A = this chain, B = another copy of it.
Amino acid sequence: MEVILAKQAGFCFGVKRATHLAFEAADRKGETYTLGPIIHSPQVVQRLEEMGVKVLGDVNEADAGTIIIRSHGVAAEELEAAVSKNLEIVDATCPFVKKAQEHVASLSQAGYDVVVVGDADHPEVQGIVSYATGKVYVVGCGDEAAKLPRMAKIGVVAQTTQSFENLKDVVNACLAKGGEIRVYHTICDATAVRQEEAKALAGKVDCMIVIGGFNSANTKRLAEVCSELLPRTHHIETASQLDPTWFSGVEKVGVTAGASTPKWLIDEVLDRIAEIDREKIG
């Protein structure tokens, strides 16, 4: 079998930075926590737990030590609470997410009603929204934006993993709603580039393996776009989930991974596929 690994598989810039900061903090002495899972990879979270880093659901569960702010960011109130408790803070918020939070804060202060383009249930969006001090709306698409009330000044910010097309649809709807629209293009193109490469790969292989957390939105979406082109697409978290029967009659396998998938998990999957291939021949 020929195995083709996507160039864009695995950690994006923000996740790489967050993971590096977290392992660095774990190496130091004292109590260390992350506020929510550091990234959407249960395996990375587990490895940090083995090093003594606890995942907290609420900042009030910690009284001393170091708290690591996860890559998706947290709500403004949570960060303030950590500061007021004198916890040492390691801010691993993705710098692109941080920008989006700052834009929401400055837009609110300048009197804009804020529209955030994104998934209201995603922790990144919940964090971004919390920086608004005035009116703020979360819309998932242009049709939802079309239902917004009229506003004098509208500020638009996007969840960093949104599609550019979706941002355009929302901006178009907002143009009809207000006299002034100020848009910050906060989309990180890592997600789009990864998806485009995965689609190209799915078009030329017999089977696709997509590696990443089942709780990772970008990995789920990656598996979806591949499935649409190639039904023999499988989303797994670890090598142990590979089923040898998936590779029966397969000549070419494509492998890609979400933005929160570490290199070691990808390597384990590649090793296991090679093993399955040897078993097929033998």
**Complex A-B: 26 CB contacts under 8 Å:** A164-B175, A164-B176, A167-B175, A168-B172, A168-B175, A171-B171, A171-B172, A171-B175, A171-B181, A172-B172, A175-B183, A175-B185, A178-B185, A179-B184, A179-B185, A180-B182, A180-B183, A180-B184, A180-B185, A181-B181, A181-B182, A181-B183, A181-B185, A182-B182, A182-B183, A183-B183
Q: A171-B171, A178-B185 are in contact. List 11 more A-B contacts (CB 8 A).
A: A171-B172, A171-B175, A171-B181, A172-B172, A175-B183, A180-B185, A181-B181, A181-B183, A181-B185, A182-B182, A183-B183
- Measured between alpha carbons, how far is A182 from B112 in the docked complex, in Å? 12
Interface residues of A in 166-221 (CB under 8 A from B): 167-168, 171-172, 175-176, 178-185
0/1 interface trace, chain A 144-179, chain B, CB 8 Å (1 if under):
000000000000000000001001100110011011
Residue of B nearest to A167 (CB): B175
Q: Could you tell me the distance in whole angstroms from the C-beta of A13 to the nearest C-beta in chain B?
A: 16
- The DSSP consensus for interface residues of chain A is mixed
- Measured between alpha carbons, how far is A182 from B179 in the docked complex, in Å? 11
- The interface of chain A, by Cβ under 8 A from chain B, is 164, 167-168, 171-172, 175-176, 178-185
Residues in chain B near residue A168, CB distance under 8 A: 172, 175
- Measured between alpha carbons, how far is A168 from B185 in the docked complex, in Å? 16
Residue of B nearest to A176 (CB): B164
- Measured between alpha carbons, how far is A175 from B189 in the docked complex, in Å? 14
Q: Could you tell me the distance in whole angstroms from the C-beta of A107 to the nearest C-beta in chain B?
A: 11
Residues in chain B near residue A184, CB distance under 8 A: 179-180
- Measured between alpha carbons, how far is A185 from B183 in the docked complex, in Å? 13
Q: Could you tell me the distance in whole angstroms from the C-beta of A146 to the nearest C-beta in chain B?
A: 13
Residue of B nearest to A179 (CB): B185
- Measured between alpha carbons, how far is A72 from B82 in the docked complex, in Å? 57
